[in-house]
Chain A
Amino acid sequence: MTLFFLFPIYWWFLSSLKPFGEIFHSPPVYTGFEPTLSWYRTVLLGESYVTQEIQSTGAVTGEGGGSYYSVPFLMNSIIAALVSTLIVTVLAAMAGYGLSRFNIRGKVHIVFWILSTRMMPPVAVAIPLYLMYQSAGLLDTRLGLILIYVAMNLPLGVLLMKSFFDDVPRDFDDAALVDGATRFQAFRMVALRYVWAGLAATAILAFIFAWNEFLFALVLSGDHSRTMPVAASTFVTSYGTEWGYLAALGSTAMIPTLLFILFVQHHLVRGLTLGGLRE
């Protein structure tokens, strides 16, 4: 079963090492081709693809000036995902704590409203957002992407953090309050310690969703802020799709998230209980 889920990634990685002709070979080629790093050299080092392509295929595709050098796009993606994750984690922890610890009138409605902001179809949000960004000068900036990614990930983050805090007995905080700590100190030094795994899970999910996001980036980003998924989709040209570059970029793009996840993997599985089971 797991192999079924790993196969596409294995295949993609294999394709990124194949010379041009072998990628399109049927029946499928697993071994016996000469591995090449030329796709990676173009995507990661920006070596002229024209030279390489003439050598390997004898033809030049792609429009003039188009480049498959993708490091800037990867950087845009990493920065947007990382910064938005950081903000989401802080805001969600605070809001989750507030919703968990205080008796607020109409709390159910507040929570549902928070959830419903996530239900807005991104397609419908894109145009108003575009106009908002246009007048605020946020179009084609990383900041613009960060702002919307925070909004996109806050609902899940707040709900998760609220349920994690719900699992921490209020007595713990109250004990700290009696000892003279302020509410904020009780939050930071007591409650937060017990939801560490949950906080990590929230951060991972926020990172994954921001990293994966396509539509907002497609509409709101440009040459200065284009993210990796959007850049990848431009590899599909009117002349055909540049599978080799795509495979190389896709394989490279798995590395940052994978590192991030390996780092906090056991938190993810523990934190994903969503906290709803303790009662």
Chain B
Amino acid sequence: MSRAVTGRHSPDKPSHLRRAGEIWDGPTPWLILAVLWLAAFSIFPFLFAVYRSFFTFNIQSGKFVPAGLENWVMLFEDPRVWNALAVTLKYVSLGLGIELVLGFGIALLYNQDPIGVGFFRTAMVLPMVVPPAVVALMFQLMEHDSFGVISYYAYKLGLLTPQEPFLGGEGKHAMAAILLPDVWQWTPFMALIILAGLRSLPRHPFEAAMVDGANAWQRFRYLTLPMLMPVLVIAVLFRVIDLFNKSFDYVYILTAGGPGRRTEVLSYYDWLATFQYTNWGYGSVLGLFMLVIMVVFGNVLIRVFQLRW
């Protein structure tokens, strides 16, 4: 593409200007900074993790001891990993499902331009700008078993009992307790992305479908949904990555993985292994395990939906 126009400089152009501009004719200068930056912050941590995964950290001597495949074998024998994986998958799928459905609903509603849509749209941004750690603290206050405002109404409505509150008890509702802040915070994000997508859809296919007598569901199913797909796939991809990796903030503050291990997601277990049990080798294995899951997921998603870059 760029080669085709190489002879474009007008002959009267000063030669020093021409030369100065020509370095931009190839892709390298455009990409180099971003790529180097990312490489510096991903390749070293990655190689470090791979290397460390073959050592165990001896806390008495403060030294790393070669451990062969020990940490990797442990990954498959450790029941806590499989518990954490199950908890994480439940968390990701519930969170994503609720946020997608609610987000779609809100976006379709707002797309009808109800009165005051401008105000509401602005208001919807608010949850996103509160740091998840602070959101978790907000919900800790509101979900408190004796003076939490959400708990109070949940008791009134019979959704919860003081014996089995959000936080504490046997933890029957602990998953809801950590899902609630995530849904609250990121449903608006979904809604805004979908709304933006809806707004940019072309009108003609819809008009044609109306003429052909397609009903609202058919128009949604065969026009809206397929045309929104590229937007949805990217939104889902980034949401899943964050649900998977960053649920840490909520769990760390709200439940610390408990009660029992009911909310011990992988990212939190990795944190415990690394920082609490100072088992860096095993922590590295867990981190790599998480990375593999995400890379596989990303590949599958992109293949299935044939995302073009």
Q: Which residues of chain B from 260 to 291 have any CB-CB distance to chain A below 8 Å in the complex?
A: 266-267, 270-271, 274, 280, 283-284, 286-288, 290-291
Is A154 close to B, CB under 8 A? Answer: yes
Given A114-B38, A119-B291, A233-B253, the answer on whether A180 and B9 have CB atoms closer than 8 Å is yes
Given A98-B30, A214-B133, the answer on whether A121 and B290 have CB atoms closer than 8 Å is yes
Stretch at the interface among B39-47, B163-171, B210-218: B39-47
Name the one of B8, B33, B124 contacting A2, with C-beta atoms under 8 angstroms. Answer: B124
Is B82 close to A, CB under 8 A? Answer: no
A129–B41 CB distance below 8 A: yes
A239 CB to nearest B CB, Å: 16
Name the one of A151, A156, A229, A241 contacting B133, with C-beta atoms under 8 angstroms. Answer: A229
Count, chain A residues at interface, CB 8 A: 106
Total number of residue pairs linking A and B with CB closer than 8 Å = 301
Kindly state the interface size class of chain B when it binds its partner.
35 or more
Stretch at the interface among A41-49, A53-61, A89-97: A89-97
B152–A214 CB distance below 8 A: no
A114 CB to nearest B CB, Å: 6
Is A177 close to B, CB under 8 A? Answer: yes
Which of chain A's residues has its CB closest to B117's CB?
Answer: A2
Interface of B is mostly: helix
Name the one of B5, B13, B40 contacting A151, with C-beta atoms under 8 angstroms. Answer: B40
Chain B interface (Cβ < 8 Å from any Cβ of A): 1-2, 5, 8-10, 13, 17-18, 20-22, 24-27, 29-31, 33-35, 37-38, 40-42, 44-46, 48-49, 105-106, 109, 120-134, 137-142, 146-147, 149, 152, 184, 187-188, 192-193, 195-197, 199-201, 227-228, 230-231, 234-235, 237-238, 241, 244-246, 248-249, 252-253, 266-267, 270-271, 274, 280, 283-284, 286-288, 290-291, 294-295, 298-299, 302, 309
Q: With contacts A121-B245, A180-B9, A246-B137 known, what are 6 further pairs, Cβ within 8 A?
A: A5-B124, A23-B141, A111-B309, A120-B291, A121-B287, A182-B22
